[in-house]
Amino acid sequence: MKTRFILPALILTLVCGAFSLAAAAAQTGERQQIRIGKQKRFSSAALAVRFVSVVEDSRCPEGANCIWAGNARIKIEVGKGREKETFELNTGVGAKEAVFKGYKIELLSLTPAPKEDASIDRDSYVASFAVSRLTK
């Protein structure tokens, strides 16, 4: 009787472990910071990522009491060879990552953070990205 429960439990443990390893592998990727309007190549993926624009920035300013943290949405262009695709990524609500040619492009952060009574100069935005291979 115990054997009936041990085998399914063992299989479940192995499957969950495999998913955890796959998730960990996908999370470890090449990281780079890109200034708005600039492009960088991720050598491990042979991908070029260009930080096109900040579509919206409604993040809660530092030092303010806000009901929610807000969101910044940026537009990026990802290319490999002659193929390119545009994506919008978010810091809060919405997609924080995109998939292109078997790679995950993840927005890790956007700086500078808004401050009370001060606007952010468009040219000062810097986004941090991680690019990871999804499949081999």
Which CATH number do you get for residue 37?
A: 2.60.98.10
- Residue 50 covered by a domain: yes
Alpha-carbon distance of 88 to 90, in angstroms, equals 7
Strand order across the beta sheet in which 30-35 lies? 30-35, 126-133, 103-111, 97-100
Please report the sign of the dihedral spanned by the C-alpha atoms of residue 94, residue 97, residue 99, residue 100.
Answer: positive
Domain that holds residue 81: 30-133
pLDDT at 50 over 60: yes
pLDDT at 6 over 90: no
pLDDT band at 123 (very low <50, low <70, confident <90, very high): very high
pLDDT at 12 over 90: no
Task: Summarize pLDDT for 67-122 with one digit per residue, the tens.
Answer: 998 999 999 999 999 999 999 999 999 999 999 999 999 999 999 999 988 889 99
Alpha-carbon distance of 79 to 101, in angstroms, equals 9
